[in-house]
Structure 1
């Protein structure tokens, strides 16, 4: 269409939605509802996130021909509905064309699929392994939508220059980028910096749409935004919330500009991590169909934070806390656990584990005769607790929440088939020092979408007292581990930053301590392989990011 007859305004609805992997019909229904709302808002076009019909990331599910067929059928069905004169649609799905399977976005309008564009840059690092799933698409040209030429670089296509350069050369006027970009701390700033670089290079305004919601260990934070052609922020959508926002773009003197976008505040740092933990647990429980959760409430800081997250995610009526005391459980722990449960308003039961522990010791007495008592007997306590929690789960259906932090899982300070039992761990990627910070934060701040109460939900004494597993008389974590501030600094160096041992020693850490922590880190790999999944909040979590061999004799001797 000649520029003189093209419209001067284009209203674009941004569907920051929460799809579920594999729920093609459910995702289609979400798309229908959002398109209807977009029509009510007067939109010309509604944009959905990357692989929306499939859910993201579909992993190897996307290789199933039946899955590909179902996604394509849903797309065709949705396309037929666009003959009603309502908004056009740009929606993501896997697209099979002969031998090639691509990560694609389809333009639906006038009752049919008008055109398809394919992702060119396939990420193959960290949590991404798209090169083993998809074929790279050809460099794309713009998509004509109601007389405006729109470029649609898909997610990773924004992270290099080539795709956007091609779109500029072929006449794109506005860039619309559908994304499935998972959260980790600082990611929002990184996305905006990358997007700003493409805007500066191209001279085109850009819309960055991200999905929201939890999928296994990944949390997608939304936080969609737009940039004007001069690189300034055109609009900012909320993080961790589903939204449909219609923004009007107007062309003046050949330049498209957004004049009416929202400017939501996006949480950062600890507040963002807390909201990610809440959303990750909420969606894991909800999307898997559990009626609620059960967890052991020990009177310690980790289980208290997990209980607060669970209540904020699900509501107090879906959270069951159980104190599982033994002879080493202090009266202080009993009081602290009860106070935490009361503050959160959850069901709270006490199940003494001594009969179970004595029964296990009795069963082993013949084999253990003459052997000194050691950590074996301590671990029987943890395993008895794990068995009781799993029994509650089996009988009544709630998922067991496991409560170990990243510091403990790094060095193996956890018991297989004991306190590691559970279906999901909301604090798996939080170091112990951050657990303390998030407890203090939650006592002073309640997220807007939290279902829990205002005010102090983690008793101050739980935060202030010395951490202990209470598996023997007068035990504290400091008996086995360095102070957590020191331990976490070393672990961040070894795990998150892959630093050399010599670098950490040069930074002032005690050499013997660093080498001991490195040894424990490697030895605990077999435990981590058997740990429950949990929310990713750092750039390098255990599991999807950091994949180390269990059999491993390497030590950094430099």
Structure 2
């Protein structure tokens, strides 16, 4: 796949944003996502993560089974790709994707008008206030190749690594894991980092309960330190249904355990930071216990 991005002295500007959405208003949500992508690109951001299922809203519930909604998401992604052909930025769009009888909770990875792949959520929470198995299937064990949004074939699966092939950006490899995938005992980001990913993006919908924000920050900090990576996390925010959950839109960027940027709760702001990819690779080379895993599945065309 081609990530036509540029770095400056080994640094890459990364951002996480929470545009204000309306549940099931796919066309409207596509426009606010476009506005966020354009704003980020104007501010020099080269990798942007938007929240989980941001085209529909995470709380669309049984509307995920509605064929009109599913088709509207694919059409909206076509529009977003067309409108971002000239922008030097890679970004995620959260949407449901159907393959045969299954619906997957996906992050579409987009760059310069190209759909690079669809990272599907692997671990679906179905406890407490979460009911995701009512609507979605876990990511397939092996990537599925399909035509989607007028492009393809593109891979749909978990653990995909998106590599940059441009000269001078050989250290840029992106991994995507969706929300709950970070909270499990063996997150997919571990294998992605061992396969070379230096930046992990997490489109999420993490609701607020007492003590959860501190735990969430600790998870991201520890994972970025353990993997010697940059980790950008975008949370759902205003516009989601409050039937069972409240979302505060805390967006975070960490590098090797250190918090570089964070937004205040309930603000819909964008967290932006310059991450030092050269330093991350140097730390991996210095660590004698860093062991490169076998090749992860790659999104290549």
- Using the size of structure 2 for normalisation, the TM-score is 0.77
Q: Say if 2:214 is the partner of 1:195.
A: no
Query: Which residue of 2 is the match for residue 250 of structure 1?
Result: 276
- Distance in 1, matches of 2:218 and 2:80, equals 35
Unaligned runs of 5+ in 2: 142-157, 284-301
Contact 2:225 2:255 in 1 (8 A): no
- Distance in 2, matches of 1:85 and 1:119, equals 27
Contact 1:223 1:237 in 2 (8 A): yes
Query: Which residue of 1 is the match for residue 235 of structure 2?
Result: 210
- Distance in 2, matches of 1:21 and 1:256, equals 44
Unaligned runs of 5+ in 1: 258-558
1:100-127 Cα distance to aligned partner (Å, 9 max, x none): 2110001112323121111001000111
Q: Structure 1 residue 167: deviation in Å?
A: 1.1
Cα distance change on mapping 1:11 and 1:200 into 2, 3 Å: closer
- Distance in 1, matches of 2:35 and 2:231, equals 25
Q: Say if 2:181 is the partner of 1:154.
A: no
1:294-334 Cα distance to aligned partner (Å, 9 max, x none): xxxxxxxxxxxxxxxxxxxxxxxxxxxxxxxxxxxxxxxxx
Query: Which residue of 2 is the match for residue 465 of structure 1?
Result: none
- Distance in 2, matches of 1:141 and 1:240, equals 31
- Paired residue secondary structure (1:252): helix
Contact 1:141 1:166 in 2 (8 A): no
1:304-319 equivalences in 2 (<5 Å): none
Match of 1:235 among 234, 256, 261: 261
Contact 1:76 1:112 in 2 (8 A): no
Q: Structure 1 residue 6: deviation in Å?
A: 7.9
Which has the larger helix fraction?
Answer: 1
Query: Which residue of 2 is the match for residue 400 of structure 1?
Result: none
Q: Say if 2:165 is the partner of 1:141.
A: no
Bigger radius of gyration: 1
- Distance in 2, matches of 1:256 and 1:177, equals 24
Match of 2:247 among 220, 224, 232: 220
Cα distance change on mapping 1:206 and 1:253 into 2, 3 Å: closer
Query: Which residue of 1 is the match for residue 299 of structure 2?
Result: none
- Over the aligned positions, Cα root-mean-square deviation in angstroms equals 2.3
1:175-214 Cα distance to aligned partner (Å, 9 max, x none): 1111111111221012112223423442323222112114
Match of 1:50 among 39, 43, 52: 52
- Distance in 1, matches of 2:226 and 2:15, equals 26
- Distance in 1, matches of 2:214 and 2:132, equals 24
The count of aligned residue pairs is: 253
Contact 2:221 2:259 in 1 (8 A): no
1:510-555 Cα distance to aligned partner (Å, 9 max, x none): xxxxxxxxxxxxxxxxxxxxxxxxxxxxxxxxxxxxxxxxxxxxxx
Contact 1:211 1:222 in 2 (8 A): yes
1:433-472 equivalences in 2 (<5 Å): none
- Distance in 2, matches of 1:209 and 1:78, equals 19
1:25-424 equivalences in 2 (<5 Å): 25-137=27-139, 138=141, 139-144=158-163, 147=169, 148-160=172-184, 161-213=186-238, 214-217=240-243, 218-229=245-256, 231-255=257-281
- Paired residue secondary structure (1:215): coil
Q: Structure 1 residue 254: deviation in Å?
A: 4.2
Query: Which residue of 2 is the match for residue 335 of structure 1?
Result: none
Contact 1:141 1:170 in 2 (8 A): no
- RCO greater where, 1 or 2, for CA within 8 Å and sep 6 or more? 2
Q: Structure 1 residue 9: deviation in Å?
A: 2.1
Contact 2:253 2:273 in 1 (8 A): no
Q: Structure 1 residue 63: deviation in Å?
A: 1.0
- Paired residue secondary structure (2:159): coil
Higher mean displacement: 140-149 or 33-42: 140-149
Contact 2:228 2:255 in 1 (8 A): no
Query: Which residue of 1 is the match for residue 289 of structure 2?
Result: none
- Paired residue secondary structure (2:247): strand
1:117-176 Cα distance to aligned partner (Å, 9 max, x none): 110010001111111211111431222356411111100000121412221232211211
- Using the size of structure 1 for normalisation, the TM-score is 0.43
Q: Structure 1 residue 235: deviation in Å?
A: 1.9
